[in-house]
Chain A
Amino acid sequence: MSDNSIMVRSIPALAVMGAAGLIIAQYFIWIYAPVEATMGIMQKIFYFHLPMAWWGLICFFVVFCASLVFLISKNPFMDRLSQAAAEMGLLYSALALATGSLWARAAWNTWWTWDPRLSTTLVMWFIYAGYLALRQSIDNPQKMRAVSAVLGVVAFLNVPLVFLSARMWRSIHPAVFGSKGGGLEPEMMTTVLVCIVAWGILTSGILFYRLRQLDIKDRVKNLFIF
């Protein structure tokens, strides 16, 4: 990954666009979107919770794809991409769990319940925390890359379960984008889409930055090996 690659060159633009997008998203969240009738202003936590949850799942999908490609091609870039995406996914799913817990306290009067969606998300979080811990625990770089790629593929088995849990089992967690089009007002739908896009741009910027950092780290490490 050279300093002239499109990824590296796009980092400042993505950071600026992401920051601008989040500022615009604030207008949509606090001014444009109507206050929900039942939960009141507390419902607005949803505009943070949903993008965190979705981008967390997307990051884990990136881990899966990159791990699969690594197992076929043995390209170290794919290994670095897996690590960067796993870190972002872990952060986002932790934030989705935290904001969801606050929402649950206001809506269900409990911080936590062993609902299928919540439980599968927590299991997913622990699996990917284990994935990152495993990467730190193996000294041999080749072995570490191969083992983590296998785990990166296997760990993804839980991700579709998280997504489908609210639809497949009797869950109290709302399925916002349900099979019947969801129950969101058009203004709320626009707001949540703006938030998803803004967080997506920022996520790409941070991911590319972390990739570049991991690339430099590997190159410095290789100087000592050879």
Chain B
Amino acid sequence: MTYLIFGNIAVWLGIGGYLFYLSTIQKRLSLKIRQLEVSADEQ
């Protein structure tokens, strides 16, 4: 039973970790786009 719980935790941590990685990339991209928009407006 313990191994089953560990297996479950591993799967959800793995998927969750990857989604978190994607969300940090998305945040960085959004920030970059916003900076580009601001610099384009200034020009």
Partners in one complex: yes
**A positions within 8 Å CB-CB of B:** 41-42, 44-45, 48-49, 52, 87-88, 91, 94-95, 98-99, 102-103, 105-106, 206, 209-210, 213, 216-217, 220, 223
Number of interface residues of B (CB under 8 A): 19
Beta-carbon contact of A102 and B7 below 8 Å = yes
Known: A91-B18, A99-B10. A44 touches B4 (CB 8 A): yes
**In the complex, which residues of chain B have a beta carbon less than 8 angstroms from the beta carbon of A210?**
22
Q: How far is the CB of B31 from chain A (nearest CB, A)?
A: 11
Which 8 residue pairs of A and B lie closest in terms of their CB atoms, listed nearest first?
A45-B7, A102-B3, A98-B10, A99-B7, A102-B7, A95-B14, A48-B11, A106-B3
**In the complex, which residues of chain B have a beta carbon less than 8 angstroms from the beta carbon of A209?**
22
- Of chain B, the residue at the smallest CB distance from A224 is B36
**In the complex, which residues of chain B have a beta carbon less than 8 angstroms from the beta carbon of A106?**
3
Classify the secondary structure of A's interface with B.
Answer: helix
**In the complex, which residues of chain A have a beta carbon less than 8 angstroms from the beta carbon of B33?**
216, 220
Partner of A213, one of B1, B3, B18, B29: B29
Classify the secondary structure of B's interface with A.
Answer: helix
**B positions within 8 Å CB-CB of A:** 1, 3-4, 6-8, 10-11, 14-15, 18-19, 22, 25-26, 29, 32-33, 36
Beta-carbon contact of A206 and B19 below 8 Å = yes
Partner of B3, one of A45, A94, A206, A216: A45
**In the complex, which residues of chain A have a beta carbon less than 8 angstroms from the beta carbon of B26?**
213
**In the complex, which residues of chain B have a beta carbon less than 8 angstroms from the beta carbon of A213?**
22, 25-26, 29
Some 26 contacts from A to B, beta carbons below 8 A apart, are A41-B4, A42-B1, A42-B3, A48-B8, A48-B11, A49-B7, A52-B11, A87-B18, A91-B14, A91-B18, A95-B11, A102-B3, A102-B4, A102-B6, A102-B7, A103-B3, A103-B7, A206-B18, A206-B22, A209-B22, A210-B22, A213-B22, A213-B26, A217-B29, A220-B32, A220-B33
